[in-house]
Amino acid sequence: MTENTTLKIGIAGLGTVGASVVKIIQEEQEMLAARAGRAIKIAAVSARDKSRDRGIDLSGIAWADNAETMAENPDIDVVVELVGGSEGTAKNLVMQALQNGKDVVTANKALLAHHGAEFFALAKKNGRALAFEAAVAGGIPIIKALREGLAANHISAVYGILNGTCNYILTEMWRNGLDFETALQQAQEEGYAEVDPSFDIDGVDAAHKLTILSALAFTGRPDFAHVETEGLRNVSAVDIDYAAELGYRIKLLGIARLTPDGVVQTVAPCMVPEESNLAAVEGATNAVFIEGDRVGPTLYVGAGAGGNATASAVIADLVDIARGNVPPSGAFVETEKTVPFDSREGRFYLRLTVEDRIGVMADVTAVLRDHKVSMKSILQYGQGGAKSVPLIMITHKAKEAAVRDALAALAALDAVQEKPCVLRVEIPGGTEEI
């Protein structure tokens, strides 16, 4: 194998993922060369702190003090962007690399969610690859599944557990009876959550990933602005318990579903039946359902984050590029439009805290009737002389907008003591009952 057949890469960002990429390439040179058909060599790296000990050998590898210079380096064929963030260095590096005729591999879901349409157009114009398997669900090859394995299918829905931090928190709340704040603190102590966890627990990370999946499945271009996003902050231990009593588990789901009007995209805590595959996914694991018209529902489960899992996806893209086996960068081919979230139809879990007195139930049901929200089941709990009691309801299918309006009207009732709680009810891989 001669030097001119070697694929030379530059890696920007040497955090957990970047360091794992370097280590795997160095340890598995022969295996990767055999699988790729040519050697993969790290020609340059860049990070903020050159002196930091990352547990990897960087001797013999050029150091770029400014990551953006790698976009112009003639000794680099592929730029691997692992800096993170949707602006600044990451954005400039990817843009300049594509403009200068270099292929790009990225794990940056935020960058693609906000600027993907622009970058994919640029990659197509310049005949370069922009590969992003690592941007969604870590080690699960979900991008390849959507873009290649299911190419013969029209997709009707893509949904699942897209954030391991949130799934870990919800698992601990269910398994050990923890409240949200305690479970979050435990996730931080275990290294699953950042010191500032808002990106994860507010649903933004999952929304970025859903934007990419929805673009591949439906819309033809990332459309982050139309993802309705709700995080975990309002999920309480009491709702975890009531969900279990009703035969459900609560999961933060990213959902993109094709409706007669267009694609509805949402990230929100949802109740799923305890016998479903998604309910059984615990800890920091990710899981994604894709429903195709030929294959039906398919499920993909695995590590959604972590150095080795994400590095595995990065290197898979590098091997594809080395083989010349990357799909066209303009492979977002569907053209469905996104529609407002209020058009969604589904079932809902409602929890009210109400005064324990005669006539309250009649007032509640009158509000729901007036907003055309029908109840499938109602549970009312007496609490031995307490002034207020919980009222738990599961609806039949209803419009999102109608339920929101009904909740506002319910909150205005004198008998309702706290802000009503609402969770969507999702039936993975099946048809919801009317």
Residue-by-residue DSSP string for 291-309: EETTTEEEEEEEE-SSHHH
pLDDT of amino acid 1: 36
pLDDT above 90 for 56: yes
Q: How confident is the model at residue 434 (pLDDT cuts 50, 70, 90)?
A: very low
**pLDDT, tens digit, for every residue of 359-379?**
899 999 999 999 999 999 888
Question: β-strand 78-81 against 103-106: which pairing, if any?
Answer: parallel
Euclidean distance between CA atoms 272 and 259, whole angstroms: 20
Domain boundaries defined on the chain: 3-135, 142-303, 344-425
List of residues 6+ apart from 104 with CB closer than 8 A = 78, 79, 80, 81, 94, 97, 98, 123, 128, 129, 130, 131
**DSSP readout, 46-64?**
E-S-TT---SS--TTSEE-
Q: How confident is the model at residue 341 (pLDDT cuts 50, 70, 90)?
A: confident
Phi, psi dihedral angles at 52 (to 5 degrees): -65, 135
User: What is the greatest pairwise CA distance in the chain?
Assistant: 86
Question: What token pair was written down for 338?
Answer: 């996104």
pLDDT of amino acid 238: 93
Q: Over range 299-312, report the average pLDDT.
A: 91
Euclidean distance between CA atoms 254 and 265, whole angstroms: 8
pLDDT above 80 for 233: yes
Euclidean distance between CA atoms 10 and 12, whole angstroms: 7
Q: How confident is the model at residue 431 (pLDDT cuts 50, 70, 90)?
A: very low
pLDDT above 90 for 330: no
Active site (catalytic) residues: 209
- Residue 106 is given by DSSP the state E
For residue 391, the SS3 value is: strand
pTM: 0.92
Q: Over range 8-30, report the average pLDDT.
A: 96
Residue appearing with tokens 């009952």:
433
Residue appearing with tokens 């439906």:
218
- Is residue 160 within 8 Å of residue 302, measured between CB atoms? no
For residue 75, the SS3 value is: coil
Fold of 344-425: Alpha-Beta Plaits (3.30.70)
Q: How confident is the model at residue 385 (pLDDT cuts 50, 70, 90)?
A: low
- Residue 338 is given by DSSP the state B
Comparison of pLDDT for 67 and 3, the residue scoring more: 67
**pLDDT, tens digit, for every residue of 153-166?**
999 999 999 999 99
Q: Over range 334-345, report the average pLDDT.
A: 79
Residue 269, judged by CB atoms within 10 A of its CB (0-12, 13-18, 19+), counts as buried
Comparison of pLDDT for 164 and 51, the residue scoring more: 164
Class at the top of the CATH hierarchy for domain 3-135 = alpha beta
Class at the top of the CATH hierarchy for domain 142-303 = alpha beta
Average pLDDT of every residue of the chain: 91
Residue 385, judged by CB atoms within 10 A of its CB (0-12, 13-18, 19+), counts as exposed
